[in-house]
């Protein structure tokens, strides 16, 4: 008998030092995702690992907008932007994957947020909703119909990747025990509501 065809792809989102304890944009309890995600990476045949990967002076950094505090919001042509602490600057230790992550040799990588003038939460599209990031191409080339998401942060990169996945017609499951949120002003509860109404499975 041929092995069963497993069409689901595990997408491990942004488990990087800056989002973990001691990082510049630390997500509460981030390390709790590690054992869950490592176990998942051990059983999925197809794994994509994403990294937030910004140039210095990225427009999502509060430091690029003098007078605007960290975690405040501004309007940009691409929509409302939360201003973050500097984080995940390309090739810095903060952008590296957490050392406790056991990435299988067969994993594919997607880096996002590389354009200085545009933020990107989704591994499908940049925030202009127009520029492809790379996940869709990987999924299409492997005939995937379903993605399973875990990582950081539930209310930003997981949320937007999940919503874009649904909009592209994929089945999407978010592993709740394998992700943690930033939770700015109730954004975590709001994210789950948005995902549930878009038909994202919460497992
Ligand atoms: C993220 C805020 C800023 C994330 C990335 O990975 O969820 N959040 N950049
Ligand atoms: Zn970022």
- The C-alpha R_g of the chain, in whole angstroms, comes to 16
Of all atoms in ligand 1, which is nearest to the CA of residue 60?
3
User: Looking at the predicted structure, is the pLDDT value of residue 4 above 80?
Assistant: no
Q: Which of 143, 161, 168 is nearest to 45 (CA)?
A: 143
Collapsed DSSP state (helix, strand, coil) of residue 169? coil
Asked if pLDDT for residue 3 goes beyond 70, the answer is: no
Please tell me the pTM assigned to this model: 0.95
- Confidence check: pLDDT of 159 > 80: yes
Average pLDDT estimate for 118-130:
86
Q: Are 25 and 18 spatial neighbours (Cβ–Cβ below 8 Å)?
A: yes
Q: What is the CATH number of domain 9-56+89-202?
A: 3.40.50.850
Ligand 1 in reach of 153 Cβ (< 6 A): yes
Least confident of 91-100, 111-120, 175-184, 194-203: 111-120
CA 36 to each of CA 6, 42, 172: distance values in angstroms, whole numbers, following the listed order: 20, 10, 18
Q: What is the mean pLDDT of the chain?
A: 94
Residue with tokens 């030092």: 17
Task: Please tell me if the CB atom of residue 59 comes closer than 6 angstroms to any atom of ligand 1.
Answer: no
How far apart are the C-alpha atoms of 155 and 140, rounded to whole Å? 26
Q: Is 157 a catalytic residue?
A: yes
Task: Name the pLDDT band for 6 (thresholds 50, 70, 90).
Answer: low
Average pLDDT over residues 13-38: 98
Q: How far is the CA of 188 from the centre of ligand 1 (A)?
A: 13
Q: What is the pLDDT of residue 136?
A: 95
For ligand 1, atom 8: residue with the closest CA = 156
Active-site residue among 86, 112, 164, 179?
A: 112
Task: Give catalytic status of residue 179 as yes or no.
Answer: no
CA of 127 to the centre of ligand 2 (A): 11
Q: From the CA of 146, how far away is ligand 2's center (Å)?
A: 25
Three-class DSSP category at 155: helix
What is the predicted pLDDT for the residue at 145? 95
Q: Is the pLDDT of residue 133 over 70?
A: yes
Residue 52 Cβ inside 6 Å of ligand 1? The answer reads yes
Q: What are phi and psi of 8, to 5 degrees?
A: -85, 140
């Amino acid at each position: 008998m041929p092995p069963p065809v497993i069409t689901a792809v595990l997408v491990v989102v942004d488990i990087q030092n800056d989002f973990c304890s001691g990082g510049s944009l630390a997500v509460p309890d981030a390390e709790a995702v590690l054992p869950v995600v490592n176990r998942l990476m051990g059983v999925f045949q197809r794994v994509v690992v994403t990294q937030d990967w910004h140039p210095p002076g990225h427009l999502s950094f509060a430091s690029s907008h003098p007078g605007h505090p960290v975690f405040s919001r501004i309007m940009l042509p691409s929509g409302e932007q939360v201003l973050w602490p500097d984080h995940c600057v390309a090739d810095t230790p903060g952008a590296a994957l957490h050392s406790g992550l056991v990435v299988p040799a067969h994993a594919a990588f997607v880096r996002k947020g590389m354009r200085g003038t545009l933020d990107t939460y989704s591994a499908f599209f940049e925030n202009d909703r127009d520029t492809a990031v790379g996940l869709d191409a990987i999924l299409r080339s492997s005939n995937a119909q379903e993605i399973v998401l875990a990582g950081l942060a539930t209310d930003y990169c997981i949320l937007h990747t999940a919503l874009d996945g649904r909009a592209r017609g994929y089945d999407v499951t978010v592993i709740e025990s394998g992700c943690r949120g930033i939770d700015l002003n109730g954004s975590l509860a709001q994210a789950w509501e948005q995902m549930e109404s878009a038909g994202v499975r919460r497992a």
